[in-house]
A and B are shown apart, each in its own frame.
Chain A
Amino acid sequence: MGKILMKGNEAIGEAAIRAGCTNYFAYPITPQSEVAEYLARRLPEVGGVFLQGESEVAVSYMIFGASACGERVFTTSSSPGISLMSEGISYIAAAQCPAVFVNIMRGGPGLGGILPSQGDYFQATKGGGHGDYRLLVLAPASVQEAAEMVMQAFSLAEKYRNPVMILGDGLIGQMMEPVAFPEHLATPPVNKDDWATNGMANRGSQRPNLVKTLYLDPEQLNAHNLTLRAKYQRMRQEEVRFEPYNTEVDYQVLIVSFGTMSRVCRTAIDNLKAQGREVAMIRPQTLFPYPEAAVREAAAKASCRVVLSVEMNMGQMVEDVERSVRGQRPVEWFGKCGGEVPTPEEVMEAVRGLLAR
């Protein structure tokens, strides 16, 4: 397969297969049901399995089970479905099992709506489930990037033995763009014999592996959490990713925006440049770990007067931007979260409003 025209949802399904994952458990929900639709047709062609669970809670534990057995496994859902899965995600993180979760976000809270949103930023980056765990969170801004991030997610999940989340919005799932699947991103699964319950006979072992999340001894539970913490620290050092835009000029406003929202901001930045106003952008590609240093350094540029976080939510990322900027510049927010994506004109208006102050 060379270049092909795909919906984000289809590309996510195909990317998982290309990455060597042929176990997919899911429960349908708009706007990501095309992943299941696509994989229901495609997985049998490659000897894979798609099982629809009876609920998202069930799906999260099917993922846990398959992962504990050493299999590559993933699921896709949308906001309310991810809420239901959050219990299982906490268990999977606690048990240090690799798995990939894709959230194609829709408007919330509650049932909300079915149009694009970025309202699950807190849920993805600050918890969602209980306890001290983190997800490695990747935020694609195009169908191509969604495919590549899904392919990379499996090896990242195995590298850290931790769930990885792809945080896309409804638009990423539904829009069509040309996409190619880079073969070099498909990595062979790592050896999991030292922890997975993958059969003693298979690994020629006398010792059974145990995958568990219960630590009744307080010292052991503390030690376990310190192990997890060290892992998250290592992610902060090794996995930060971001894309700068128009940062080489003397800009007055720095936009921070992720996902499809950042593409609207790009158009706004181009249009403002044509009108003689310079605005730059840092687009976080990882939301955890957050590109703190990049945002801080870009905000510190002498010409920069203000930082604007543009999101399809009510400002959930602002505190991460503020934490990064450390008070050097004022941090403002612009966004919407009903499902209508802010237009380039609206973003331009927000920027002009800041500059007029």
Chain B
Amino acid sequence: MDIFRHDILAIVGNYGSGKTEVAVNLAAVRRQAGVAVRLVDLDLVNPYFRTREARHQLTRLGIEVVLPPEEFLNADLPVLSPMVAGAMRREGGLTLLDVGGDGVGARVLGALAAAWHDRPPCLVQVINPFRPETESVAGCRRVQARIEEAARLPVAGWIANAHFMDQTTLEDLREGVALVNALVEATRRPLVLVTVPERLRAAVPADLFNCPALPIRRQLVPPWLSAETL
């Protein structure tokens, strides 16, 4: 499955699955491939560790970042800027939606139905098997069901995002791919991307998975660490 034939990609998943880090890195990779990219911060649930933290790097790369108005950036208010609907109506290039966690976070997609009209977003669910609840196929499917019900859209495929922040090993990646492969088997929906920490890229064997890899350069870091260069 080529997810990039869709104009609007919605990155969904449970809390802390790594949606924002995936969305930010995916935006950078697509932009560097010459695609016009709009990245929309649609996380209405939690104001910590969000797309906005990487906004300066993203803007420098020529990515259009759609955020709530500046004065509401640090409010725990569900602010949905009218620019979101505008970004979804635009044609050409890629609109990436960084959606909030779980069904609660995905509900906003249903509310935006008028904006995407006859071009529904393609939902891809991020899975980190080292997070609570998505350690098993059954758990991943429970999260999937909650997201689909709230968004009123199907999850089209999976992104394997197995990591332990800066302590991720090759073995962890292997474990992540294995879980998502079992999920593919159970759901007949494809694995579309596997995230790989930049420093492990060279060490990943070619036969570990047969979909594109998304190198991750961490952007959402605590204040004592520096973000990697996108």
Chain A residues engaging chain B, CB cutoff 8 angstroms: 3-7, 10, 14, 30-31, 34, 37-38, 41, 113-115, 170-171, 174-178, 260, 263-264, 266-267, 339, 341-344
Contacts and interface: CB of A to CB of B under 8 A. Distances in A.
B89 to A, nearest CB: 32
Contacts of B76: 30, 114
Interface string B186-198: 0000000000000
Given A14-B132, A175-B49, 8 more contacts: A3-B130, A7-B15, A10-B16, A114-B75, A178-B167, A260-B222, A260-B223, A341-B223
B224 A267 contact: yes
A343 B75 CA distance: 22
A266 B48 contact: no
Contacts of A30: 47, 76
Contact of B74 (A37, A115, A267): A115
A109 to B, nearest CB: 17
B125 interface: no
Contact of A3 (B132, B163, B164, B225): B164
B137 to A, nearest CB: 17
Contacts of B15: 7, 34, 37
B1 interface: no
Nearest to A4: B130
B165 interface: yes
- Which of B49, B131, B135, B223 has the most C-beta atoms of chain A within 10 angstroms of its own C-beta? B223
Nearest to A173: B48
Contacts of A174: 46, 48-49
Interface residues of B, number: 23
A175 B221 CA distance: 9
A269 to B, nearest CB: 11
B21 to A, nearest CB: 10
A5 B131 contact: yes
Contacts of A3: 130, 164
B128 interface: yes
Contacts of A5: 16, 128, 130-131, 163-165
B48 A6 contact: no
A168 to B, nearest CB: 13
How would you classify the secondary structure of chain B's contact residues: helix, strand, loop or mixed?
loop
A129 B48 CA distance: 30
Nearest to A338: B74
> When A and B form their complex, which 3 residue pairs have the shortest distance between CB atoms, in order from nearest?
A174-B48, A341-B223, A267-B224
A176 B75 contact: no
A3 B129 CA distance: 11
A177 B163 CA distance: 10
A31 B48 contact: yes
A339 B163 CA distance: 28
B74 A339 contact: yes
A344 B46 CA distance: 25
A341 B53 CA distance: 13
A114 B74 contact: yes
A64 to B, nearest CB: 29
Nearest to A341: B223
Contacts of A344: 223-224
A4 B48 contact: no
B224 A264 contact: yes
Contacts of B49: 174-175
- Which of B47, B131, B165, B224 has the most C-beta atoms of chain A within 10 angstroms of its own C-beta? B224
A216 B35 CA distance: 77
B222 A171 contact: yes
B169 to A, nearest CB: 11
Interface string B1-19: 0000000000000011000
Given A5-B163, A34-B15, A263 B74 contact: no
A34 B132 CA distance: 13
13 contacts: A3-B130, A5-B165, A7-B15, A10-B16, A30-B76, A37-B15, A114-B74, A114-B75, A171-B223, A174-B48, A178-B164, A339-B74, A343-B223
B74 A113 contact: yes
Interface string B144-182: 000000000000000000011101000000000000000
B75 A263 contact: no
A249 to B, nearest CB: 21
B185 to A, nearest CB: 24
A5 B132 CA distance: 8
Nearest to B164: A178
A178 B15 CA distance: 15
Given A34-B15, A115-B74, A177 B165 contact: yes
B132 A10 contact: yes
A266 to B, nearest CB: 7
Contacts of B75: 114
Contacts of B222: 171, 175, 260, 263
Interface string B39-61: 00000001111000000000000
Given A114-B75, A178-B164, A266 B224 contact: yes
A343 B47 CA distance: 20
A263 B224 contact: yes
